């Protein structure tokens, strides 16, 4: 892969304290990319930042932020500005889901999800993209999901939030044509991280055949980003699912999603 895309640059990774975000941080550092790591878990972030600096000789900074708080993303952006580093790559990875009926869940959990999964990605893109365009380099990786491809009963807000991420990314990427700045929406299916537990999904409630490990998802996503892809679905099974969801009538797709969610015990 083209390691020059990352070597000697600076990336801001949200949700870097665990799962895919931690893996983005590890693989970017391995490619010589300096890092600003953010999340709420200060201790985990500081341990990771120290490890990556020691192992890879890159510069690392930690900024804690709660992106579910009103104004949390803007505050994060301003603190990053105060660090005096130039953000070349933004990885909008922080996010969470919540399994169950919408009516049966706490409304604040749903609105927090929109703030973390959607609003913070828009806010951080709005803050850092103009600088990327002025320098005519770098870009944004927005972490979506295969849940973006169909309305998702029993994870209604989550699916809708990821549909926003994919639509937003594709539109931005189109606006940026003619520049060297890239925007990629990465849409994983199930990945072995803390996501399922955080979403309240029971053990074994993901399709094993579709499940990937974080290192494979991140490696293929960084390759897709370096290659200038716009939307990327890691894994063959997930790519087929996303394609079918685009081709079949919406009513059929929603019924299939509902059936799957019930069978997997998420409802």
Compute the least distance from the CB of residue 39 to ligand NAP, in Å.
3
Return the closest-CA partner of residue 79 out of 122, 15, 27, 36.
Answer: 36
Question: What is the smallest separation between the CB atom of 260 and ligand NAP, expressed in angstroms?
Answer: 14
Q: Which residues are catalytic?
A: 158, 162
- Is there a contact between 49 and 55 (Cβ–Cβ < 8 Å)? no
Cite the DSSP H helix spans in 57-106: 72-83
Which of residues 153 and 234 has its CB atom nearest to ligand NAP in the complex? 234
Q: 61-64, long-range: CB within 8 Å, 24+ apart, which pairs?
A: 61/35, 61/36, 61/37, 61/85, 62/36, 62/37, 62/38, 63/36, 63/37, 63/38, 64/38, 64/39, 64/40
Angstrom distance (rounded) from CA 156 to CA 231: 22
Considering the complex, state which of residue 9 and residue 157 has its C-beta at the smaller distance from ligand NAP. 157
Cβ-based nearer residue to ligand NAP, 139 or 190: 190
**Site residues, ligand NAP (CB under 6 A):** 15, 17-21, 39-41, 65-68, 93-96, 116, 143, 145, 188, 190-191, 193-195, 198
- Least distance (Å) from ligand NAP to the CB of residue 192? 7
- Residue 97 dihedral angles phi and psi, to the nearest 5°: -125, 180
Burial class (CB in 10 A: 0-12, 13-18, 19+), 256: middle
> Least distance from C-beta 202 to ligand NAP, angstroms?
14
Would you tell me how many other CB atoms lie within 10 Å of the CB of residue 87?
Answer: 22
- For residue 170, the number of C-alpha atoms closer than 13 Å in the C-beta half-sphere is 10
Would you say 143 or 176 has its CB closer to ligand NAP? Answer: 143
Q: How far is the CB of 179 from ligand NAP (least distance, A)?
A: 26
């Amino acid at each position: 892969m083209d390691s020059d895309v990352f070597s000697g640059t600076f990336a801001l990774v949200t949700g870097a304290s665990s799962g895919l975000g931690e893996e983005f941080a590890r693989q970017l550092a391995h490619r010589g990319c300096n890092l600003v790591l953010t999340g709420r878990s200060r201790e985990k972030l500081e341990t990771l930042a120290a490890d990556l600096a020691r192992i890879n000789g890159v510069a690392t900074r930690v900024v804690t932020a709660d992106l579910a708080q009103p104004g949390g993303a803007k505050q994060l952006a301003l603190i990053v500005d105060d660090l005096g580093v130039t953000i070349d790559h933004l990885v909008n990875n922080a996010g969470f889901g919540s399994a169950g009926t919408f009516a049966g869940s706490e409304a604040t959990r749903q609105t927090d999800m929109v703030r973390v999964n959607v609003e913070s990605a828009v806010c951080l893109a709005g803050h850092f993209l103009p600088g990327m365009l002025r320098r005519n380099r770098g870009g944004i990786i927005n972490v979506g999901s295969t849940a973006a491809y169909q309305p998702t009963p029993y994870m209604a807000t989550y699916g809708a939030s990821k549909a926003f991420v994919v639509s937003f990314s594709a539109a931005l990427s189109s606006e940026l044509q003619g520049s060297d700045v890239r925007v990629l929406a990465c849409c994983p299916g199930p990945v072995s991280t803390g996501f399922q537990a955080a979403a309240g999904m029971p053990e074994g409630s993901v399709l094993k055949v579709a499940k990937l490990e974080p290192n494979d998802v991140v490696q293929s996503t960084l390759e897709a980003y370096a290659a200038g892809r716009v939307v990327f679905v890691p894994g063959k099974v997930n790519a087929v699912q996303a394609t079918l969801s685009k081709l079949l009538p919406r009513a059929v797709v929603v019924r299939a999603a509902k059936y799957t969610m019930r069978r997997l015990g998420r409802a």
